[in-house]
Amino acid sequence: MEKLTKRSWAEPFKIKVVEPLRISTREYRESALREAGYNTFLLRSRDVYIDLLTDSGTNAMSDNQWAGMMMGDEAYAGSENFYNLEAQVRKYYGYKYLVPTHQGRGAEHLISRILIKPGDFVPGNMYFTTTRLHQELAGGTFVDVIIDEAHEPESTHPFKGNIDLDKLSDVIKRVGAEHIAYVTVAATVNMAGGQPISMQNLRDVRALAEKHGIKVVLDATRAIENAWFIKQREPEFAEKSIPEILHEMCSYSDAATMSGKKDLLVNIGGFLALNDPDIFEEARNLVVVYEGLHTYGGLAGRDMEAMARGIDEAVQLDHIRARVGQVEYVGERLLSIGIPIVVPIGGHAVFLDARRFLPHLNQLEFPAQALAAELYLEGGVRSMERGIVSAGRNTKTGEHNFPKLELVRLTFPRRVYTQAHCDVVTEAVEAVYERRDAIRGLKMVYEPKYLRFFQTRFERL
């Protein structure tokens, strides 16, 4: 491997097709924001200049992936592209069986329905919105067993995604192993700031779960980014390749849910991957009810081909170094001008710490939501609230959940924006920071029942 230099994250590609961006006036954005109820999910994409809402399905595909789209075998049953994808998942992730789904939550739905009995508990390393909702809809209760450091934006722990083994043991003792449906292990942990889990922790969790006969389900959505951090931070893996690390990570789980819209560089697609033939049998039965036939799971043949080809590209060291390097570049710049962000800088996004950014707002004035709105107003930059609005309500009491982390996520789609765009984003954040004392909070005026953050509407206080 060539020596790393400061500029080593430069993009390992050149640009062949471009998509024009629109720059609007502040006045225009003020009215667009009001119409969107101060919720960045409700903005029209045409009104956004730099879109850092998500890295989900917003990635730029390669020429090889687009060529693969022309090789779509759109047969109802037995598409060639399914077999290509199955072979790739076996090769890189190592699971025996594959059930394609339209995206990640399709896989979460299937595994939750299969493994959770009403009254069961599902421990995991911090909640994810869709994952927890599917667990709840199946009658389960999510229990957070991530290490305490994950809830501390300023803690520099290198593996803030780790599971606290004492917390996990305590849950097992308290409810009994027979009432634990499985342990969900996310790699990386999105809501904690894109933070990785260590290989050692994966091994320890596996050993503890095995001792009690409990299954482990990996959320592999950004596992390739996690593998990069393991290579950087766990000395045993410094000389191992990303595919080797990924394979070992997956070997400590029984199944994986996957949103291909992230690591795998596609606009749509996901899968459930499994080792257990009985669970596979159940999943194949259910997928035809909710997604589509077991050889397409809600996807076109061309989508499966793009995902199959995406895996080869996603594990390339040059790619992953540039991807994480870009996020780090923005994070470092923000740190250098004193902006409060979550550290260490995560894999897919820089997370602004709204509690420290807007200390004059209390949590019920929705500081992260207000900050995301201001950032759009300032520079046409779209980000996402990851605080009390995203955390939703307690299913039993109906009260808001009050998460410790109150964050705004600046999420970088893969291979989409340039370093100049990154600089524009940094300048916009700085301009908002300079006028932070004048920023007011929000009040909720409409709240939907499920995954409220997508559609909640607000007004300025």
State the DSSP code for 102.
S
Collapse the DSSP code of 308 into the 3-class scheme (helix H, G, I; strand E, B; otherwise coil) and give the result. Answer: helix
Q: Which residue among the candidates 40, 58, 129, 257 is catalytic per the annotation?
A: 129
CB of 178 to ligand P61, least distance (A): 27
Q: Which is nearer to ligand P61, 264 or 320 (CB)?
A: 264
In sequence order, the 6+-apart residues with CB closer than 8 A to the CB of 142 are 121, 122, 123, 124, 127, 131, 132, 135, 136
219 alpha-carbon distance from chain centroid: 9
Report the site for ligand P61 in 373-392 (rule: CB under 6 A).
Answer: 384, 390
Q: Which residue among the candidates 160, 206, 231, 262 is catalytic per the annotation?
A: 262
Which window, 60-68, 126-134, 232-240, 366-374, contacts ligand P61 (CB under 6 A)?
126-134
Distance between CA atoms of residues 141 and 133, nearest Å: 9
CB of 347 to ligand P61, least distance (A): 11
Report the first-to-last Cα separation within the chain, whole angstroms: 55
**String marking each residue 9-48 x if it binds ligand P61 according to CB under 6 A:** ----------------------------------------
Q: Annotated catalytic, 129? A: yes
Q: Which residue among the candidates 29, 206, 386, 414 is catalytic per the annotation?
A: 386
CB of 103 to ligand P61, least distance (A): 3
56 binds ligand P61 (CB under 6 A): yes
Assigned token pair, 372: 């995301």
Sheet holding 121-124, edge to edge: 97-101, 270-274, 255-259, 216-219, 183-186, 121-124, 141-144
Phi, psi for 144 (deg, rounded to 5): -80, 120
Amino acid symbol at 432: V
* Residue length of the chain: 461
Per CB under 6 A, the list member of 40, 59, 65, 103 interacting with ligand P61 is 103
**DSSP code string of 57-86:** S-PPPPHHHHHHHTT----SSS-HHHHHHH
Assigned token pair, 18: 């471009």
- Tokens 């609005």 — which residue? 389
Distance between CA atoms of residues 256 and 279, nearest Å: 12
Which window, 25-33, 102-110, 336-344, 435-443, contacts ligand P61 (CB under 6 A)?
102-110
Per CB under 6 A, the list member of 38, 92, 105, 149 interacting with ligand P61 is 105
CB of 297 to ligand P61, least distance (A): 12
Q: Which residue among the candidates 76, 402, 446, 454 is catalytic per the annotation?
A: 76
Per CB under 6 A, the list member of 145, 180, 183, 186 interacting with ligand P61 is 186
Contact 375, 359 (CB under 8 A): no
Binding-site size for ligand P61 (CB under 6 A) equals 18
Q: Rounded to the nearest 10 degrees, what angle do helices 199-211 and 242-251 cross at?
A: 20
Query: What is the enclosing helix (H) or strand (E) of 443?
Result: strand 442-446
CB of 231 to ligand P61, least distance (A): 20
Per CB under 6 A, the list member of 112, 129, 363, 456 interacting with ligand P61 is 129
For the chain, counts of helices (H) and of strands (E)? 16, 14
Q: Which is nearer to ligand P61, 59 or 79 (CB)?
A: 59
Q: Which is nearer to ligand P61, 105 or 382 (CB)?
A: 105
CB of 371 to ligand P61, least distance (A): 16
Sign of the CA dihedral 51, 55, 57, 58?
A: positive
Per CB under 6 A, the list member of 59, 81, 130, 326 interacting with ligand P61 is 130
Q: Which is nearer to ligand P61, 221 or 383 (CB)?
A: 221
Q: Which is nearer to ligand P61, 29 or 386 (CB)?
A: 386
State the DSSP code for 365.
G
Q: Which is nearer to ligand P61, 221 or 295 (CB)?
A: 221
Contact 165, 181 (CB under 8 A): no
CB of 201 to ligand P61, least distance (A): 17
In sequence order, the 6+-apart residues with CB closer than 8 A to the CB of 148 are 164
Q: Annotated catalytic, 219? A: yes
Amino acid symbol at 245: I
Report the site for ligand P61 in 286-325 (rule: CB under 6 A).
Answer: none
Assigned token pair, 224: 């390739």
Q: Which is nearer to ligand P61, 107 or 172 (CB)?
A: 107
Q: Rounded to the nearest 10 degrees, what angle do helices 419-434 and 317-336 cross at?
A: 30
Q: Annotated catalytic, 453? A: yes
Report the site for ligand P61 in 263-282 (rule: CB under 6 A).
Answer: 270
132 binds ligand P61 (CB under 6 A): no
Residues that bind ligand P61 in the complex, under the rule CB under 6 A? 54, 56, 103-105, 128-131, 186, 190, 219, 221, 259, 261, 270, 384, 390
Looking at the annotation, which residues are catalytic?
A: 76, 128-129, 219, 262, 386, 453
